[in-house]
Amino acid sequence: MSRVKGGPKAMKRRRNILKAAKGYRFGRSTKTKQALEALKHAGKYAFRDRRAKKRTMRGLAIVRINAALRERGFKNYSTFMGAVKKANIELDRKVLAEIASEYPEAFDRVLKKVTG
C-alpha cells in the first residue's frame, strides 16, 4: 500500500507557500517546489535591496543638492558640505535635498548662512 502524504499540516504548509507566491509567473505560482525556491530568492533579494536602497537614496540626495548648488553658482557639493559642518548646521543630506527641491528660498537662506 502506498503512503499518504496529504496530512493537514503538510497541506497547510503548501497552501501558505502558494499563497505567498501569488502573482508569480508560470509554475512558480502553482507548483510548491518552484514556489518555495522563488520565495527564498525573493526574500534574499528583498534583504539585500533594503540595504542597497539606503545607498541609492543617499546618492540621489547628493545629486539633488549638487544640482541646486550649481543653479545658484556654488562651486560643488563637497565644498558646500564642508562649509555646512563648519557652520554647525545639523541638517542631513535627505533634509537638505528636500529643502533644495521643495523650498528654494529656505535653501537660499541656508546657502547664505554657510557662505557667510
Domain coordinates in residue numbering, the chain: 8-115
Residue 86: CB atoms within 10 A of its CB come to 10
Q: What is the pTM of this model?
A: 0.78
2-20 confidence digits (pLDDT tens): 888 889 999 999 999 999 9
Specify the fold of 8-115.
c-terminal domain of poly(a) binding protein (1.10.1900)
Q: Are 24 and 18 in contact (CB under 8 A)?
A: no
Q: What is the pLDDT of residues 33-59, one digit of tens each?
A: 999 999 999 999 999 999 999 999 999
- Cα 13 from chain centre: 31
Long-range pairs of 54-60 with CB within 8 A, sequence gap ≥ 24: 57/94, 58/93, 58/94, 60/97
Task: Give the residue-averaged pLDDT of 51-76.
Answer: 96
Report the distance separating Cα 78 and Cα 65, nearest Å: 10
